[in-house]
Amino acid sequence: MPNSAGIPKNSENFVHLHVHTEYSMLDGAAKISELVAEVANQNMPAIAMTDHGNVFGAFEFHKLAKAAGVKPIIGIEAYVAPESRFDKRRVKWAEGGEDDVSGGGAYTHMTLLAENNQGLSNLFKLSSLASLEGFYYKPRMDQELLSKYSKGIIATTGCPGGEIQTRLRMGGYKEAVAAASRMRDIFGAENYFLEVMDHSIDIEKRVLSDLLKLGKELNLPLLATNDLHYTHHKDAAAHEVMLCIQSGSTLADPKRFKFDNSEFYLKSAQQMRQLFKDLPGACDNTLVIAERCETTMREGENLLPRFPVPAGESEDSWLIKQSNQGLAAKMNGQIPPEYQERLNFELDVMIKMGFPGYFLVVADLCNYARQVGIRVGPGRGSAAGSLVSYSLGITGLDPIKFGLLFERFLNPERISMPDIDLDFDERRRSEMIAYATTKYGDNRVAQIITYGTIKSKQAIKDSTRVLGYPYALGERLTKSLPPSVMGKDISLSGIFNMDDDRYGEASEFRNLYEADPDSKRIVDTALGIEGLKRQWGVHAAGVILSKEPLLDVIPIHRREADGAIITQFDMGACEATGLLKMDFLGLRNLSVLDDCLINIEKNLGKTIVLETLPLKDQKLLNYSHEVTPLAYFS
């Protein structure tokens, strides 16, 4: 494994600092695990991640790179508004066309890299605010934001879509010099680099001499990069397919969006040094930057939201008081010694583990729901083993009466965040999220992002369409796949792996693959895109709450469809950081129960309280044996 510490400045090595992973969805085709493994294999000391307009994969990238013995450098290929980020209109610097402002006049490009933890925090803020405030086709920053959050960030002039190269293509040398001067002043002369690429394409060659002249005039250090979009040279074919999926085109379409060649991969240090043999300093500077960059991710912090307690109380004392009062109310004022002992034990564990605020927050949510007539479930899972949860009204079952164990829920010998799923009437789930947002602050609450990956069936369907084959051929292949088990399909790679547990079930599929050349071509193409990220979505139930403004902790973004604030990190990364993840589950069963009670009262004049119904009703038990119900839910 390469040693990422003490990177030599003038060796023959090289570090790639312009890299699009699979998180540049349907554009980047480099899986992080494969990318960092190949970097380690080539004995390169570091690798950057600079995805388009987001830092979705920063946490995963940091972890996997470290595990591979490679220094992770977290960055972004930013979209920069040509004027103000608040100005939502297309801008032309000339007559339009492909040489003018990219995105049809909406943005230019710029590469940003976090040098230290302050820079990483600023990078996350820039990415977040670009979405929250500057979204127009893409999440866009502007010079005001860059000036405010420039500390700890290394910037470059970017790719051909950057402002400097755009100005040069249009013949605006003076304007390019002025723009580069402004950015140099924003980031500092030692933190602003002139980025040069060589993919043997015209758009780069046309401006190279002027670009080098500008760099010399402003004394900007050179930086060589390869616009990496996939890991290996052979992955170019899969990348072409991804671009066709993005644009809804086929490989046979002469007008489809495509790259000019297959040079956008992880080239070796020797290849990069050869490409820039006339500019060796541009390669040396990749090592200089790699040595400068040193960041860590926030992990394992206690970021549980602060619960507002009365004056003179702490979260600890208030939890004790509320739990004792709640249990006394359930026991008609007389708490048996066994119950008091169990309650005291649980409270002691919760306080030692630092979780009083968590239980107060959950209890508050349940109590609010009941106050406004939103039906709440009686609790599910191991949380039902907690007497504190029962006392606070979080759950509806007496754990001592039913012999439920607290240690299954919280174990003082295993420090882990408690996880209580909250069930609400599905029609009013949004009201509960709105309440949490109002109570704890709209800057401290967000829904959680998810990432959809291309599974075996989707890979076959996409490949069939992109290759121009009839839909029926793709259907024939997908129907020959082994059936799903517990909602999980066998992977295409597993079908051809004799060590896979389900290999024996896939003989029909393999026979079709071997007998039909068209099927083979489709499957071979599908294997190249299987497992790549396809789109982002939102977790069906998860909500993040934080004691600090989320903007100071993790990157976030805004869903344009409804304005909802969504994390850029997935659930695992958010929890690892120390944020509170809660599941607000919308349950149709609760909606049905509520409707039943309303109709009983309306039609029969009877008011029924579910919580007071006996659990051992012999007539009901007999009836359940006499009929065949559609389903049971418990």
User: How high is the mean pLDDT of the chain?
Assistant: 93
- Helix (H) or strand (E) run with residue 194 in it: strand 192-197
Amino acid identity for residue 272 in this structure: M
Please provide residue 51's backbone torsions phi and psi, each rounded to the nearest 5 degrees.
-75, 160
> How far does CA 363 lie from the centroid of its chain?
29
Please check whether residue 442 is in contact with residue 565, taking contact to mean a CB–CB distance below 8 angstroms: yes
What's the half-sphere exposure (Cβ side, CA atoms, 13 Å) at 370?
A: 17
Confirm if 307 and 361 have CB atoms less than 8 A apart.
Answer: yes
Give me the residues paired with residue 629 across strands: none
Residue 403 has pLDDT above 70, yes or no: yes
- CB-CB contact of 50 with 79 (8 Å): no
| Paired residues of 110 in beta bridges | 78
Q: What's the pLDDT band for 549 if we cut at 50, 70, 90?
A: very high
Is residue 24 in some structural domain? Answer: no
Closest by Cα among 548, 566, 553, 575 to 306: 548
Is the pLDDT at 249 greater than 60? The verdict is: yes
Strand (E) positions, 387-506?
421-425, 445-453
Mark which of 277, 292, 307 sits at the end of a domain. 292
> Quick one: DSSP state of residue 227?
-
> Taking the CB of residue 89, how many other CB atoms lie within 10 A of it?
10
Q: Cα(149)–Cα(139) distance, rounded to whole angstroms? A: 16
Tell which residue, 31, 48, 35, 38, has the closest CA to residue 1.
38
Flag whether pLDDT at 2 surpasses 70: no
Residue 470: phi and psi, rounded to 5, are -65, 150
Domain boundary among 257, 277, 292: 292
Are 416 and 512 members of one domain?
no
Residue 239 has pLDDT above 60, yes or no: yes
Whether 322 shows a pLDDT value over 60: the answer reads: yes
Q: What is the pLDDT of residue 8?
A: 56
Q: How far apart are CA 390 and CA 406, in angstroms?
A: 11
Q: Is the pLDDT of residue 628 over 90?
A: no
Q: What is the CATH number of the domain that holds 41?
A: 3.20.20.140
- Are both 123 and 146 inside the same structural domain? yes
Give the model confidence (pLDDT) of 436-485 as tens digits.
Answer: 999 999 999 999 999 999 999 999 999 999 999 999 999 999 999 999 88
Distance, CA of 300 to CA of 310 (rounded, Å): 29
How many CA atoms are closer than 13 Å to the CA of 351, on its beta-carbon side? 15
Assess whether 368 and 442 both reside in one domain: yes
pLDDT of res. 632: 63
Mean pLDDT, residues 498-522 taken together:
94
* In-domain check, residue 1: no
Residue 597 counted as domain residue: yes
Structure tokens at 165: 């190269």
At residue 585, does pLDDT exceed 50? yes
Return the pLDDT at 631.
Answer: 64
Task: Report the length, in residues, of the chain.
Answer: 634
- The pair of three-digit structure tokens given for residue 29, joined into one six-digit string: 């085709």
Q: Do both 505 and 616 map to the same domain?
A: no
Residues 282 and 348 in one domain: no
In the chain, the number of structural domains is 4
Q: Measured between alpha carbons, how far is 161 from 527 in angstroms, rounded to an integer?
A: 32
Q: Are residues 417 and 564 in the same domain?
A: yes
* Residue 398, token pair as written in the block: 């007496």
Q: What is the pLDDT of residue 105?
A: 92
Q: pLDDT band at 589, cuts 50/70/90? A: confident
Please check the confidence at residue 385 and state whether its pLDDT lies above 70.
yes
DSSP 489: P
Q: Which DSSP symbol is given to 93? A: S
Residue 1 pLDDT > 70:
no
Check whether residue 420 and residue 272 sit in a common domain.
Answer: no
- Note the Cα 445 to chain centre separation in Å: 16
Q: What is the mean pLDDT of residues 408-414?
A: 83
Q: Domain residues for 513?
A: 455-530
Could you tell me the CATH number of the domain that includes residue 503? 1.10.10.1600
CA distance 189 to 156: 11
pLDDT tens per residue, range 418-442: 888 899 999 999 999 999 999 999 9
Give CA separation, 242 vs 79, 231, 252, 372, 483, in Å: 21, 14, 14, 48, 26
Q: Closest Cα partner for 174 from 218, 230, 112?
A: 218
Q: Mean of the pLDDT values across residues 347-375? A: 94
* pLDDT band for position 358 (cuts 50, 70, 90): very high
pLDDT at 610: 84
| Helix then strand then coil, % of the chain, to nearest 5 | 45, 15, 40
Confidence of residue 100 (pLDDT cuts 50, 70, 90): confident
In a shared domain, residues 46 and 166: yes
What is the pLDDT confidence band of residue 634, given thresholds at 50, 70 and 90? low
In a domain, 175, yes or no: yes
Angle at 457 between CA 452 and CA 460, to 5 degrees: 110
Neighbours of 470 (CB within 10 A): 11
Residues 190 and 207 placed together within one structural domain of the fold: yes
Annotate 207-238 with b (16+ C-beta within 10 A) or e (fewer). Answer: beebbbebbeebebbbbbbbbbbbbeeebbbb
Question: Which residue's entry shows tokens 């943005």?
Answer: 107
Q: Note the pLDDT tens digit of each residue in 150-189.
A: 999 999 999 999 999 999 999 999 999 999 999 999 999 9
Percent of the chain clearing pLDDT 70 (strictly above) = 97
Please write the tens of the pLDDT for every residue from 64-92.
999 999 999 999 999 999 999 999 999 99
- Report phi then psi at 220, rounded to 5: -90, 130
Structural tokens at position 39 = 């970097």
Is 5 a residue whose pLDDT tops 60?
A: no
Residue 374 in tokens:
């939103």
pTM value > 0.85: yes
Last residue of a domain, one of 229, 259, 292: 292
| Residues 332 and 264 grouped into a single domain | no
pLDDT at residue 413 is higher than 90: no
135-172 burial, b for 16+ CB within 10 Å, e for fewer?
Answer: bbebbbbbbebbeebbebbbbbbbbbbbbbbbbbbbee
CB 596 within 8 A of CB 604: no
Residue 94 to residue 175: CA distance in whole angstroms: 12
What does the radius of gyration of the chain's CA atoms come to, in whole angstroms? 29
Alpha-carbon 4 to chain mean position: 26
CA distance 437 to 612: 32
How many C-beta atoms surround the C-beta of residue 4 within 10 A? 23
pLDDT for res 487: 80
Tokens 């549980």, residue located: 304
Asked whether 53 and 139 are in contact (CB, 8 A), the reply is yes
Res 323 pLDDT > 90: yes
Residues 442 and 481 in one domain: no
CA distance 506 to 478: 11
Long-range (24+ apart) CB contacts under 8 A made by 7-11 are: 7/45, 7/46, 7/71, 7/287, 7/290, 7/291, 8/287, 9/284, 9/287, 9/288, 9/291, 10/284, 10/287, 11/287
Judge if 68 and 184 occupy the same domain.
Answer: yes
301 domain-assigned: no
